[in-house]
Every structure is written in C-alpha cells, then in structure tokens.
Amino acid sequence: MIAQTPPMGWNSWNYFHGNVTEQDVRAAADALVSTGMKDAGYVYVNIDDTWEGTRNADGVLSTNSKFPDMKGLADYVHSKGLKLGIYSGPGPKTCAGYEASYGHEQQDADLYASWGIDYLKYDLCSYHEIMQEQAPNDGAAQMRLMIDAYAKMDKALKSTGRPIVFSLCQYGWDAVWEWAPSLGGNLWRTTGDIRPTWESIYDIIEQQGGLAKYAGPGHWNDPDMLEVGNGIRDPRDPGRIRYLSLAEDRSHFSMWAMLAAPLLAGNDLTHMQPDVLSILTNRDVIAIDQDRLGHEATRAYADGEVEVWTRHLEGGALAVAVLNAGSDRYSSHPFHLSLTKLGLHGPQAGKDLWTGKEVTLTDDEPIELASHDILLVRIPSPK
C-alpha cells in the first residue's frame, strides 16, 4: 500500500515554476541525499508543470527540450534510492498551457510506468472548460464529469500495475475530500495555490478546519506544497526577495505536520540556509506528520489571534500546537493556555519540539510567543 503516511519529498513548482530543467531535478535529488533530507524521510522528487512536449501521430507524448531523457532521469533518481513524480491533468492543456492527458489517459499512464514514474499530480486546469462545455449551467453534472475524469486516470494508473501515488489537484472544489478517497486518490489539494507569504499560509491553515476526519493512512488532505525557505519579490525593490521569517517557516512546517500534510519541500535545495535545512529536517516534527495513526490535528480553540491545535498520536501521546497568528510582526505575546479546553487535567510534561527541551504546560505559566511563531509540544502521557 502506498502513502500509508503523508508523502514526503520535493516539488519543482514553488521555486522554479516554469523554468525547471532536468539539471535542476538532478541537483534536487543530489541535494536530498547530501543534506540529509533523504535520511529524514524525503523520498519523492516531483517534476511539476512544463516538462511536456508534443504528441506524435500515434498520440504518444514526448518531453520538451528541458527534459531530454525522462527514463534516464528516473533511473538516476532511483539510483539514489529516491522516487520520481510527474505532473499532468485531465484537460487538453495543463495550467501552464502544455500538453495534458485529455483523451490519452491510458497512453500517458503507460508512458509514465515505462519511464518508472512513482507519483502523479493531476491538475484540473483546462478540464474545467470541458466541464462547462459539456454540461453548461449544471453544477451537479459538471461535478460528475470531474469525478469521472479523476476516476479514469486512477483506473489507468492502476492498470499499469506500477504503484503510483495519485495526487488530485483541483483546488478543494466540490468537497473533494468526500469523494477522492473512494476513487483512489492518495491526496487531494484542499485549497488554491499557496504563496510564500504569511497571509497565504495562515489563510490555508484557516481553511483546514473540519477536514481532519477525511484524512488517514493512504489518503490525505493536501494544503499544498511547502514554502519553507521561499519568499516573494519585494514590490518596491524587485531585486530583493522578502523571505518568510524563521518563525513563519517554523509555524508553517509545524502546522503542516499537525495537519498530516504531505511534506513536499518547494525551495531551492542547492542553496539552502542552515536554519531552513534544520527546520525541514527536525525529526521530532516530522515524526508528528508521519505518525502512523494518521489522525490529523483539530483546532481545540482560538483566543484572539492565538490558536491551539491538538493531534492524537500513537501510544496515547498528544501533540499541542500554540500558534500566534497576530499581525504585529515584532511584538511578543504572553498567552495563558487553558488545559481544560484541551480535555487535560493539571500540569502536563512534554518536549518542546523546537528547542528540544523538556517543558511543563500549565494554566498559570504564560507562554511567550513572538508574532507568527509557534510552540509545538509532544506530551507522551497526557493526563
């Protein structure tokens, strides 16, 4: 069985967008190994949009000149003990306007299997227009068309006999979490595209409430790929990148782990600050994400701009995240936890997963949290 825990790896889109080349993907695979990320659990090397070429007279798709030898690339990635992922969609074109799988589903699935592909992200994009053309003004019929299109590719992948993780990308429309698992989806995007800003990350966190019950071994909510280590161009000074702060990176990574999200790094692994690498390879936080029970966190309560989330872990342990989403970037924020609201009784001994220190959570001791920072504690024996 695949994706028994949320898939971990790297995807080209968040950093390279449409510029990614085979060299970048090879370098990312090398970096996963040399940085220790592979040892920490990152296995999938996923090529996103813009690898596609054209179809020949028989409909067989080729790669474009940025990816001269997909089979060779797959062999290279596999030789490192890693797996290779690829991208397509049910429509005629991908989001970036390249060739997608409409009418060629089985042919494409067979091609991926012949290359040795291990993961497919299948992005709705232009299929939305097909839905509108085929069922104008009929939302229910459009939804059926969409479900059928995803089911078709799932069947095509299964019939190759190769285990290929199936990742649905249709931005969380039509309560995808209700139908994706039954048609073989291993993960499904729950939102629109993430951006490397706190506003985007927090907005996505806010949209995850109520989805926990749909996640579990083999099928996961996907709040989109990681932006840890990324930033946006400063609009006033386009030569400068405004990176997420380390507190924001920590909060982003911690919350994705609490949410049992796929951990697909989206930064340039070949030029990574040590602080960013140490966030991405924090084993204690990864262990929360990869906990075998697969119980996604739920929000216990919010108090002003502070949110408290809990996640039940194997062996009766509990993870508690206290997130200061407050907008004042530089203030620190003393906060009193209510253990009763978490169903707990009296002081709780645990480990702060970012400092590595033993801590005791109480109602009395104020928690100091800088803006956009997080406290993440694992309580082995909650009382």
Applying CB under 6 A, the residues found at the interface with ligand GLA are 13, 48-49, 94-96, 123, 169, 193
Minimum Å gap between C-beta 229 and ligand GLA is 17
CA-to-CA dists, residue 354 to 147, 197, 243, angstroms: 41, 21, 20
CA-to-CA dists, residue 36 to 57, 303, 351, angstroms: 45, 38, 23
- Nearest one of 24, 6, 7 to 15, comparing CA atoms: 24
Which position among 30, 193, 203, 352 bears the catalytic label? 193
Distance of alpha carbon 269 from alpha carbon 232, whole angstroms: 17
Nearer to ligand GLA, 167 or 324 (CB): 167
Nearer to ligand GLA, 169 or 277 (CB): 169
Minimum Å gap between C-beta 140 and ligand GLA is 24
DSSP tag of 126: T
Q: Is position 193 annotated as part of the catalytic site?
A: yes
Other beta carbons within 10 angstroms of residue 207's beta carbon come to 14
Nearer to ligand GLA, 118 or 307 (CB): 118
Q: List, in order, residues 6 or more apart from 88 with CB less than 8 Å away.
A: 52, 94, 100, 101, 108, 120, 121, 122, 123
Q: Is position 39 annotated as part of the catalytic site?
A: no
Which position among 24, 48, 118, 123 bears the catalytic label? 123
Distance of alpha carbon 294 from alpha carbon 16, whole angstroms: 31
Minimum Å gap between C-beta 123 and ligand GLA is 5
Minimum Å gap between C-beta 379 and ligand GLA is 35
Minimum Å gap between C-beta 10 and ligand GLA is 14
Distance of CA 151 to the CA centre of its chain: 22
Nearer to ligand GLA, 22 or 123 (CB): 123
- Nearest one of 281, 220, 241 to 31, comparing CA atoms: 281
Nearer to ligand GLA, 87 or 309 (CB): 87
Write out the catalytic residue numbers: 123, 193
